[in-house]
Amino acid sequence: MLHVKIISMVDRFCCDAICLRVIEFSETSQIVSLFTPDHGIVSMIAKGIRRIPKKTSAPLMAPLDILSAGQVVFIPSRHPGQLATLTAWDVTNHRPELRRNLEKILAGELLAEVTLAAWAAEDASKDVFHQLGKALDELSQSASMRIVVSYLKHLLAAAGYALDFSLCTHCRKPLGDHGNLLRGAAGLFCDRCGVSGRLARADRRVLAALQRLAPPDQLTPHAPGAQPDAGALLQAAQLLICHLRLVLDHDLHFDGYLRDIFQFPAGSALRQVYAHAAG
């Protein structure tokens, strides 16, 4: 009897992706976290991606920068906790307009960090992937940061961390004039139930606006000449980020830039540093 040994090829996946994190691993390689619609967040090693090509050879692939979108080809890891191997990366949208503006690049990096923190790595979601891409595209083109709050709200709801913007978590009565986040407790509390341990407070007008706020792909533009209230947007973003930190017990780096993102003072030290670096 003739025995035939079948050798299967290693599976390779090709899909769209958005780069959420880049870590320099060696002189030639990087470790990257890519968000994909079909495989969730995948951490990969990109070997040789930083290598400068010789004149006689083509570069391994295009540069892989945070917030860029493209098509990736990768070999999945064989065991849980191991890195996948990136074999090709084709940039489809580097988002140059976003990278020319400090507020926008900080906002984009905040969205990337929040996605990494809130979304389970193995969970695939075409919707969240689409909403993140829409938010980054709109952020590149728009002067309003309303799209940032829209994505934060949608992501938290999709991840199972949605807030009730109308009722107190404790007494289940309408929140009244304010909604309060409390230390060590999830949810929003009215002023009577939230008298101690308060971490953040939002005005009822902000809560009502948050409740109405549509996902990024359904967000309608403001009427010509109408500008969103930067203070209200900041308050809404602080509320959502603080809630995420409470439920995850996880610190976020870019939430320290919220005031710079939503209320960027023209003469701030950060603006002066950026202007000097840009040059």
Percent of the chain with pLDDT over 90: 61
Tell me the H-state helices in 186-229. 204-212
**Do 135 and 190 fall within a single domain?**
yes
CATH value at residue 66: 2.40.50.140
List, for residues 164-189, the tens digit of each pLDDT value: 999 999 999 999 999 999 998 889 99
Q: Residue 223's pLDDT is what? A: 61
DSSP of 66-115, one letter per residue? TT-EEEEEEEPPSSTTSPEEEEEEEEEE--HHHHT-HHHHHHHHHHHHHH
Phi, psi of 262 (to 5 degrees): -95, -25
Residue 6 lies in a domain: no
Range(s) of the domain holding residue 204: 95-279
How many CA atoms within 13 Å lie on the side-chain side of 59? 12
- Would strands 30-36 and 40-46 be described as parallel, antiparallel, or unpaired? antiparallel
Q: How confident is the model at residue 220 (pLDDT cuts 50, 70, 90)?
A: confident
Residue 219 lies in a domain: yes
Instruction: Give the global pTM.
Output: 0.86
Per the CB < 8 A criterion, the answer to whether 61 and 90 are in contact is yes
**Do 33 and 112 fall within a single domain?**
no
**What is the residue whose two structure tokens read 């083109």?**
141
* 48: nearest Cα among 6, 10, 2, 85: 85
Residue 139 lies in a domain: yes
Token pair for 51: 């290598």
Q: Residue 172's pLDDT is what? A: 96
CATH value at residue 200: 1.20.1440.120
Residue 207 lies in a domain: yes
Q: Residue 265's pLDDT is what? A: 45
Q: Where is the domain boundary, 94, 114, 132? A: 94
Task: Work out how many domains the chain is built from and give that number.
Answer: 2
Q: Where is the domain boundary, 94, 111, 143? A: 94
